């Protein structure tokens, strides 16, 4: 096995950063494929914490090739800041960084529009609860064939023309949404700032697809790092409460520009419970005291926006859908420790809707919101032992819990994570082996 995709199996924040960091040890190349700086991936190594937004989470391992795929939407200023932060910490010194020339650029007007839309619809069903990082407007421009690509940053005349043409169409929308149309001087500053950022990034810009393909041909181990999660997928998630990219494993092929036959394994990451940040249906959400207890125990506050995450029981019907959509060959189950000392644990094993039993969430978002979860109760467990190396070290009730999840979800366990640190992990299978 030389190519492994790591994908979020829920609504994001499952612990992809930790798992990618762990698996990166075995990889020569780590390719971030989806989204942009809406992502926040947390790595904890020996108590030191790093949150990556754009840079692949393999960054902690010196000497790895780190690639940003063409399917990403990149804020060049955020990327430069993140690179500088990493370098201050002694990271990215020996890593080769390659940013796809075809990736799209997030410009200030994308963020402006994202924020204006959210403000206008605040408190209504139309508010998506986005991260306000300009993701939707940048992908809209891409699909509308009006987008600005990283390669355009290297040609200021073309960049200026693209930005002006876009704003020509967008200015009435900015006014309609209650915003202030940018002045000509402001627009020129956006253009020159972006071009300057492009100049700084130029040595790292290149043909990501061919770069990844060359590594595939050379049979180098490659890890593809997803962002967000299957239920936030633009096509298959809880639309319209989704992000604007292809978050499922297929997104790795689309973004990196490789064929599906080159993917050998797909590891889906799921928490031992569920969280969601932003709006949208969440059938197993726990309101009130218990939800708050879980939020505090799990530190469930956004790594990008700091927003409190909505918390609920694990939804196996949704997880089953993620396993199917991404063709998962293994599961990494994280945050098992958070359920310690919580009493009995519940898991949604399916739904009831209009008298019918469902084993996956219904297609329509309104139906998902109406669907009644069917819960199975598991006896809880107390504190997990400090040094947990194998499933046998877990209390029997916790072991039964994780094994039942894997069985009902339909994919074998590749690892169980019992704390945020790299070493708080029970490794069960090497996704690069076999």
User: Which residues bind to ligand IMO, rule: CB under 6 A?
Assistant: 8, 11-13, 38-41, 128-131, 133, 135-136, 227-229, 232, 243-244, 277-278, 303
Candidates 125-133, 199-207, 259-267, 333-341: pick the segment binding ligand GDP (CB under 6 A): 333-341
Catalytic site residue from 41, 53, 61, 110: 41
Using CB under 6 A as the binding rule, whether residue 303 contacts ligand GDP is answered as yes
Judged by beta carbon, residue 40 or residue 100, the one nearer ligand GDP is 40
Q: Which residue is nearest to ligand IMO (CB)?
A: 278
CA dist 409 and 201 (Å) reads: 42
Catalytic site residue from 13, 21, 70, 337: 13
Using CB under 6 A as the binding rule, whether residue 58 contacts ligand GDP is answered as no
Instruction: Select the residue interacting with ligand GDP from 21, 417, 426, 431 (CB under 6 A).
Output: 417
C-beta of 321: minimal distance to ligand IMO in Å?
Answer: 17
Distances (CA, A) of 95 to 14, 19, 56, 85: 26, 19, 11, 14
Q: Which does 228 bind (CB under 5 to 8 A by kind): Mg ion, ligand IMO, ligand GDP, none?
A: ligand IMO
Q: Taking a C-beta distance cutoff of 8 angstroms, is the pair 170, 147 a contact?
A: no
Q: b/e map of 411-422 (b: 16 or more CB within 10 Å)?
A: bebbbbbbbbbb
Instruction: Select the residue interacting with ligand GDP from 2, 7, 13, 414 (CB under 6 A).
Output: 13
C-beta of 11: minimal distance to Mg ion in Å?
Answer: 10
For residue 183 the two structure tokens come to 């002045």
Judged by beta carbon, residue 308 or residue 412, the one nearer ligand IMO is 308
C-beta of 209: minimal distance to Mg ion in Å?
Answer: 26
Using CB under 6 A as the binding rule, whether residue 133 contacts ligand GDP is answered as no
Active site residue 41: yes
C-beta of 254: minimal distance to ligand GDP in Å?
Answer: 20
Judged by beta carbon, residue 9 or residue 91, the one nearer ligand IMO is 9
Judged by beta carbon, residue 17 or residue 198, the one nearer ligand IMO is 17
C-beta of 226: minimal distance to ligand GDP in Å?
Answer: 9
Using CB under 6 A as the binding rule, whether residue 240 contacts ligand GDP is answered as no
Q: Which does 18 bind (CB under 5 to 8 A by kind): ligand IMO, Mg ion, ligand GDP, none?
A: ligand GDP
C-beta of 16: minimal distance to ligand IMO in Å?
Answer: 6
Using CB under 6 A as the binding rule, whether residue 14 contacts ligand GDP is answered as yes
Q: Which residues are catalytic?
A: 13, 41
**Can you give the binding site for ligand GDP, defined by CB under 6 A?**
8, 12-18, 39-42, 44, 299, 303, 334-335, 337-338, 417-420
């Amino acid at each position: 096995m030389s190519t492994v995709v790591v994908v979020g199996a829920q609504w994001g924040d499952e612990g992809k950063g930790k798992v990618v960091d762990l698996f990166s040890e075995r990889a020569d190349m780590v390719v971030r494929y989806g989204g942009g700086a809406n992502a926040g991936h947390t790595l904890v190594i020996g108590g030191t914490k790093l949150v990556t937004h754009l840079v692949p989470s393999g960054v902690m391992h010196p000497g790895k090739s780190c690639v940003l795929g063409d399917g990403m939407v990149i804020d060049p200023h955020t990327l430069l800041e993140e690179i500088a932060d990493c370098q201050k910490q002694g990271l990215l010194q020996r890593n080769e960084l390659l940013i796809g020339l075809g990736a799209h650029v997030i410009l200030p007007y994308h963020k402006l529009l994202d924020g204006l839309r959210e403000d206008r619809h605040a408190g209504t069903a139309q508010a998506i609860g986005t991260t306000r990082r300009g993701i939707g407007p940048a992908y809209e421009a891409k699909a509308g064939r009006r987008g600005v690509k990283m390669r355009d940053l290297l040609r200021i005349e073309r960049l200026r023309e693209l930005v002006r043409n876009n704003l020509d169409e967008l200015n009435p929308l900015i006014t309609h949404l209650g915003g202030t149309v940018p002045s000509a001087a402001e627009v020129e500053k956006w253009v020159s700032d972006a071009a300057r950022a492009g100049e700084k990034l130029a040595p790292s810009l290149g043909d990501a697809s061919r770069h990844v393909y060359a590594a595939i041909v050379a049979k180098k181990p490659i890890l593809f790092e997803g962002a967000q999660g299957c239920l936030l997928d633009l096509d298959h998630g809880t639309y319209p409460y989704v992000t604007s990219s292809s978050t499922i494993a297929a997104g790795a092929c689309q973004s990196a520009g490789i064929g599906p036959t080159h993917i050998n394994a797909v590891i889906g990451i799921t928490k031992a419970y569920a969280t969601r940040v932003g709006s949208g249906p969440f059938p197993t959400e726990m309101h009130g005291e218990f939800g708050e207890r879980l939020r505090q125990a799990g530190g469930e506050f956004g790594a990008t926006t700091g927003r409190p995450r909505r918390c609920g029981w694990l939804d196996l019907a949704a997880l089953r859908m993620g396993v199917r959509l991404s063709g998962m060959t293994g599961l990494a189950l994280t945050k098992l420790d958070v359920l310690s000392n919580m009493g009995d644990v519940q898991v949604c094993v399916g739904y009831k809707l209009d008298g019918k039993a469902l084993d996956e969430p219904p297609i329509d978002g309104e139906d998902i919101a109406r669907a009644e979860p069917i819960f199975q109760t598991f006896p809880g467990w107390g504190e997990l032992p400090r040094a947990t190396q194998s499933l046998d070290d877990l209390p029997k009730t916790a072991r039964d819990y994780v094994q039942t999840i894997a069985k009902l979800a339909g994919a074998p366990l590749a690892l169980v994570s019992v704390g945020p640190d790299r070493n708080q992990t029970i490794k069960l299978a090497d996704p690069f082996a076999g």
